Chain A
Amino acid sequence: QKEVEQNSGPLSVPEGAIASLNCTYSDRGSQSFFWYRQYSGKSPELIMFIYSNGDKEDGRFTAQLNKASQYVSLLIRDSQPSDSATYLCAVNERSPSGGGADGLTFGKGTHLIIQP
């Protein structure tokens, strides 16, 4: 059974600092990796996705993927109070554009608190 593990937190980070969120996954066949942000009672919204080993940057966000270690992380630079939310890691075992049998497997999320 595919599993995605995240530390539930809460992870408390001072405003302006770097927040580091981590995720491990069990299925070595995983090909697509996603980070979603979810505010309490709201729907998950996509932050970014990554397919290849290494870093991918988008504004204040950087996703890092290490397939050998089955590890994906999200860095948030210059953290703002509005970044306070639960961050969900999700993986898919299929390659991009290759379809997929059963959707994404989600971790339970890490609750991030940015302290003003």
Chain B
Amino acid sequence: DADVTQTPRNRITKTGKRIMLECSQTKGHDRMYWYRQDPGLGLQLIYYSFDVKDINKGEISDGYSVSRQAQAKFSLSLESAIPNQTALYFCATRDRGTDTQYFGPGTRLTVL
């Protein structure tokens, strides 16, 4: 079984709709991250969380919000989706011992 899972894997939605992307992990890591990836732009950090009560904005948090429901679950919401939020979204966890980040399989989001 995958250590970091994301749902849905693909989603097509319309402008103005609210959408939630979910991430779960069984690695036991307390640190979790949300990134988006656009062609030619690399990975950009949206939000990160050190634990349930500690959530921080990344470099491109505008238009997004997050919820850390438990150590193992970290959700990303788009309150009112817009077309330039069309991208590949990755959740990741972090091993404190090695600083290594482990990525989920990604969610491909298309906003029409």
Measured as residues with beta carbon below 8 angstroms from the partner, the interface class of chain A is 20 to 34
Contact residues in A for B40 (Cβ distance below 8 Å): 8, 108
Q: List 18 A-B contacts (CB under 8 A).
A: A34-B99, A34-B100, A41-B108, A43-B104, A45-B103, A46-B101, A49-B98, A49-B99, A88-B42, A97-B99, A103-B33, A103-B45, A103-B58, A103-B92, A103-B101, A104-B99, A106-B42, A108-B41
B74 at the binding interface (Cβ < 8 Å): no
B64 at the binding interface (Cβ < 8 Å): no
Contact residues in A for B88 (Cβ distance below 8 Å): 41
In the complex, which residues 46-65 of chain B have their Cβ closer than 8 Å to any Cβ of chain A?
48, 56, 58
User: A102 to B45, Cβ gap below 8 A?
Assistant: yes
Chain B residue nearest in CB terms to A91: B99
In the complex, which residues 10-63 of chain A have their Cβ closer than 8 Å to any Cβ of chain B?
32, 34, 41-46, 49
Contact residues in B for A94 (Cβ distance below 8 Å): 99
Query: A49-B98, A92-B99, A96-B98 given as contacts; is B42 within 8 A of A107 (CB)?
Result: yes
Bits for A82-110, please: 1 = Cβ < 8 Å to B, else 0.
00000010101010110111111011110
User: B103 to A32, Cβ gap below 8 A?
Assistant: no
User: A102 to B99, Cβ gap below 8 A?
Assistant: no
Give A15 Cβ to nearest chain B Cβ, in Å: 27
- The listed residue (B41, B96, B105) touching A99 by CB distance below 8 A is B96
Q: Bound complex: CA of A104 vs CA of B43, how far in Å? A: 10
User: A104 to B104, Cβ gap below 8 A?
Assistant: no
User: A109 to B42, Cβ gap below 8 A?
Assistant: yes
User: A102 to B48, Cβ gap below 8 A?
Assistant: yes
User: B43 to A97, Cβ gap below 8 A?
Assistant: no
- The listed residue (B96, B103, B105, B108) touching A97 by CB distance below 8 A is B96
Give B35 Cβ to nearest chain A Cβ, in Å: 8
User: B100 to A49, Cβ gap below 8 A?
Assistant: yes
Q: Bound complex: CA of A41 vs CA of B10, how far in Å? A: 11
Q: Bound complex: CA of A106 vs CA of B59, how far in Å? A: 12
Give B106 Cβ to nearest chain A Cβ, in Å: 5
